Amino acid sequence: MESVEIHHIRESFPALKTKIHGKDLVYFDNAASTLKHLSVLKELDQHYYHETANIHRGVHYLSKLGTQKYERTRDIIQKFINETYHIENEFICQLDPSKFDMIPEYVIVECDKLVSGDTT
């Protein structure tokens, strides 16, 4: 995996553009709430402005669209968890610790498709 410049990562999280006493914000409070990546904020904006509906409950277009996106996201995350962890007797064991440090390419590709509306 190529080394990524920290400023490229910071640019993807709008809240990290905040300056505190002239210094870049450093955020360690992930236990309470996590900063959102720009792609997540854009998708939330799309959802709340154009697609708000309950999933698994309606028969109308927006509800079906939300259900499809929800299920597709679950499938992506399930595949990642199944490839990375072994669950036995309700204990989760990491199969390959090196996979924890990076997100597999297929997860990124599938999430990009999901955000772009590509259903293929």
Per residue in 40-94, pLDDT (tens digit) is 899 899 999 999 999 998 899 999 999 998 998 888 888 877 776 666 655 555 5
Question: Higher pLDDT residue, 11 or 108?
Answer: 11
Question: Higher pLDDT residue, 116 or 33?
Answer: 33
Q: What is the pLDDT of residue 99?
A: 55
CA distance 84 to 98: 9
Return the number of other C-beta atoms located less than 10 Å from residue 114's C-beta: 17
User: Tokens 């499809």 correspond to what residue?
Assistant: 68
Torsion of CA 45, 47, 48, 51, to 10 degrees: 140
Q: What is the pLDDT of residue 1?
A: 41
Closest CA to 4 of 102, 76, 107: 102
